[in-house]
Structure 1
Amino acid sequence: MNTPTSPPGAERTDGSSVQIGALVPLTRPGWVEAGQHLLAGLELAVREVNDAGGILGRPLELVVRDTAADPQRAAAAVDELARLGVAALAGEYHSVVARAAAARADALGLPFLCSSAVLDALTEQPTEWVARLSPPQSRGWQVYADFLLGAGHSRIAVAAQPSVYWASGTRILRDYLAPRGGTVIELDMSALTLTAVCDELVDNRATALLLLVGHPEPAVPIVKSVRRDQRLAEIMIGAPAGQPEFAEWATLLGDDSAAIPFLRYLPERLGPLGARVETDLRERLGEAPCFVAFEGYDTVAVLADVLRSHGVDRARTAESWPRVAVEGTRGQIQFSRTPGISVWQWASTPVQVVDRDPAEPDRFRILHAG
């Protein structure tokens, strides 16, 4: 493995802080609510690390950069954070942004623990520098495909925008569903009006429509249009990427926000640590934390354990990924090599398909787990 030397001062013991660079989408077109929850989890864990004595007697500090869902902005932030001497990188929600950050981190020899992005090919080539907590897209979306089949859906339309992430999701669904009798019908949202989308759903006899599009635009208008079309009263709308997770979804759509299944990465029941963190996150956020907040907390918990055990040298941090064994909010976290995945991967991340309960849209129902 390429092991560039750590920056001057990386092993200081003079009481100066140990810094972790945090990449978070905090402004549009990023999914801002996801960024806020991710940051809340990161910050809560940092506070707890410092309350427990920090990293070898030094305080832990987050150096936060807003990626705004922009890959170029994220890559520039990685360059800046590397120059500032951070011990490691954490965070990011958007897959295409995390991919740009991972490429720069790999090139610079900067350890990066990706919190929430799922794109399988997070780097072009296998790397020792990057590890990930969220499950790869192929695993999560295959769980979602199993849910669709179990619910009796074999003619599935995807309303998709141009993106590496959405294209990857469509390919995963098609490759998994086709041998099992399923058909995926692609609707190009760069070319179709909302009325045309409804007409295509009717003409293709689709029983499910999946939203592979941005939030809130155009996801919210698509839902409203389909819900208003009496020809489509029986169609199921789904959102595997998780748009309905966030409170803004319910605010914008009201009753139409419910019964739209999506993926989230939580166990059926939280253990004692997860339950305590949930309470603290709820107080910090002023609302129920989504799974992304737990991902943020777990990211810092892992990095703090590594930094305490192996010091703040970047190369030693990267070399420690396969030896991680940390109790996180959602289970025991360990990293391994997964076939087809280029980074160190937590292989047992819990995966659920859930939706908002039509009788009580603020409550989530677990529909399937994998």
Structure 2
Amino acid sequence: MNAQKNGKPGAGRVLRRTTIAASAALAVLAGMAPGSAQSQTIKIGVPVPLSGSSANAGTDILNGAKLAAAKVNAAGGVLGKQIELVPEDDACDAQTAVQAAQKLVDAGVVAVAGGYCSSAALPELTTFHRAGIPYVLDASTNPKLTEMGYDGVFRTIGRDDEQGPFAASFMKNSLHAKRAAVINDNTTYAKGLADNTVAALKKDGVDVVYDDAITPGQMDYSPTLTHVASLKPDVIYYTGYFSEAGLLVKEARQLGLKMTLMGGDGTNDPTLMKTAGPAANDMIITTAPLAQFLSGAHSFVDDYTKAYGQGPGPYSVYEYDAVGVTAKAIADAKSATPAAITAALHKISNYQGATGTIGFNPKGDRSVAVYITIIVRGDNFAPYQKQDAAGHWMAMK
């Protein structure tokens, strides 16, 4: 995929080999030769937000990675070595993310599995690409991540341009909405999901009466909500993160708004209910299936709950599979060099993960991505509706 990036065939591959060789040489000088006999472990980086408003999600993702590494290591590791996770805090911030990614490169990781905010994953990806290190994303859904022509990017989750049309179809064909308001927070993820949803709504003939952003971190969104309410939408769809979603939902109900409230998959964290309280009841969320709704993830849920004293959040199981499929690629390649791992990841087509069968298309996206809707019932998320093979909406059990 990189062969044409520098204007002539093979230039990208030559550059990548050069950067890989340079990174390996530096690692040798530091006593960390990636994938070599001198390494006592095989290092996999985990960049996630461990501080800031998304720290809860980042911790959950890291916990999923730990469970995956423990499973691999208990079975003897890979290539006779143990998997060593190297976490770094990217704080969902672009500048911090660059520093976190460089720390992982300097630490001698041979692959990376993680990510949460697309705004952080994009600069991380650029750093890993320059070092020739593959990046398997578990939660970052912006389409640009796999549209840049980079050979070493993969995803165990779907994309915003898949979720957007799914959300629009639900609004039109299940809720029978005629008028919709879409609110984002101007982050890379939220704006991307909003744009894809708005385009699909317009294509489906739904009148988009509001399409604008709030500023994250504010303490009062009632002026925006009052304005949106005056436009009389049948549904409000918020595409940002759970920290603001909880406040938006709480204030919307305090203002007496009766329309359906919806959120994208950045709102599917239990913190939503802690912030909004009873106001969150009946909020509907579009999301990849949560672990508790996946038939292949029962043991994962049990292990997570036993290890951490609470159920898993939304992306831990997708990180669990990201680490698992990376370990599988290392085993298939019979090598822990980044280039060999990347090549092996491209060949994977039917890895049986906790989230189902995983394979990657030529861009690195998951070949088959599934979305469902869930609904808030009390302090829990409950399955709501999904589409059948013909695209018809049906209740989930």
**TM-score > 0.5, shorter chain as reference:** yes
Match of 1:350 among 347, 370, 389: 370
1:316 matches 2:340: yes
CA contact 1:353–1:369 (8 Å) conserved in 2:
no
Name the CA distance, whole Å, in 1 between partners of 2:79 and 2:233: 58
Please report how far the alpha carbon of residue 54 of structure 1 lies from its aligned counterpart in structure 2 after TM superposition: 0.8
**What amino acid maps onto 1:305 in structure 2?**
K
Alignment of 1:289-308 (within 5 A): 289-308=312-331
Name the CA distance, whole Å, in 2 between partners of 1:149 and 1:97: 33
Q: Secondary structure at the match of 1:288?
A: coil
1:70 matches 2:70: no
Please report how far the alpha carbon of residue 76 of structure 1 lies from its aligned counterpart in structure 2 after TM superposition: 1.6
Match of 1:220 among 246, 263, 266: 246
CA contact 2:265–2:288 (8 Å) conserved in 1:
no
Name the CA distance, whole Å, in 2 between partners of 1:82 and 1:195: 44
Aligned to 1:238: 262
Residue 158 to residue 335, structure 1, CA distance change in 2 (3 Å): same
Residue 202 to residue 116, structure 1, CA distance change in 2 (3 Å): closer
Name the CA distance, whole Å, in 2 between partners of 1:279 and 1:162: 37
Aligned to 1:362: 380
Residue 195 to residue 263, structure 1, CA distance change in 2 (3 Å): closer
Name the CA distance, whole Å, in 1 between partners of 2:229 and 2:384: 29
Alignment of 1:1-370 (within 5 A): 1=13, 2-3=16-17, 4-5=20-21, 7=24, 8=28, 9-13=33-37, 16-29=40-53, 31-122=54-145, 125-150=148-173, 151-184=175-208, 185-190=210-215, 194-216=221-243, 218-230=244-256, 232-233=257-258, 235-243=259-267, 245-266=268-289, 270-272=294-296, 274-310=297-333, 311-324=335-348, 325-337=350-362, 343-357=363-377, 360-369=378-387
Q: Secondary structure at the match of 2:379?
A: strand
C-alpha distance after superposition, 1:287-331 (max 9, x if no partner)? 221331101110111011111121101111111222113110011
**What amino acid maps onto 1:220 in structure 2?**
G
Name the CA distance, whole Å, in 1 between partners of 2:307 and 2:45: 21
Show structure 2 runs of 5+ residues with no match.
1-12, 389-397
Name the CA distance, whole Å, in 2 between partners of 1:97 and 1:259: 31
Q: Secondary structure at the match of 1:121?
A: helix
Name the CA distance, whole Å, in 1 between partners of 2:211 and 2:113: 34
Q: Secondary structure at the match of 1:43?
A: helix
Higher relative contact order (CA 8 A, sep 6+): 1
Residue 105 to residue 220, structure 1, CA distance change in 2 (3 Å): same
CA contact 1:335–1:344 (8 Å) conserved in 2:
yes
CA contact 1:174–1:183 (8 Å) conserved in 2:
no
Please report how far the alpha carbon of residue 134 of structure 1 lies from its aligned counterpart in structure 2 after TM superposition: 1.0
Name the CA distance, whole Å, in 2 between partners of 1:136 and 1:88: 21
Aligned residues: 357
Residue 153 to residue 16, structure 1, CA distance change in 2 (3 Å): same
The share of aligned pairs that are identical, in percent, is 21
Bigger mean CA offset, 197-206 vs 60-69: 197-206
Name the CA distance, whole Å, in 2 between partners of 1:209 and 1:189: 13
CA contact 2:250–2:280 (8 Å) conserved in 1:
no
Please report how far the alpha carbon of residue 123 of structure 1 lies from its aligned counterpart in structure 2 after TM superposition: 5.5
Name the CA distance, whole Å, in 2 between partners of 1:80 and 1:122: 21
Name the CA distance, whole Å, in 2 between partners of 1:10 and 1:135: 30
Please report how far the alpha carbon of residue 47 of structure 1 lies from its aligned counterpart in structure 2 after TM superposition: 0.6
Please report how far the alpha carbon of residue 175 of structure 1 lies from its aligned counterpart in structure 2 after TM superposition: 1.3
CA RMSD of aligned residues (A): 2.2
Name the CA distance, whole Å, in 1 between partners of 2:317 and 2:109: 23
C-alpha distance after superposition, 1:131-159 (max 9, x if no partner)? 11110111012111111112111311122
Please report how far the alpha carbon of residue 32 of structure 1 lies from its aligned counterpart in structure 2 after TM superposition: 1.7
**What amino acid maps onto 1:212 in structure 2?**
T
Show structure 1 runs of 5+ residues with no match.
338-342
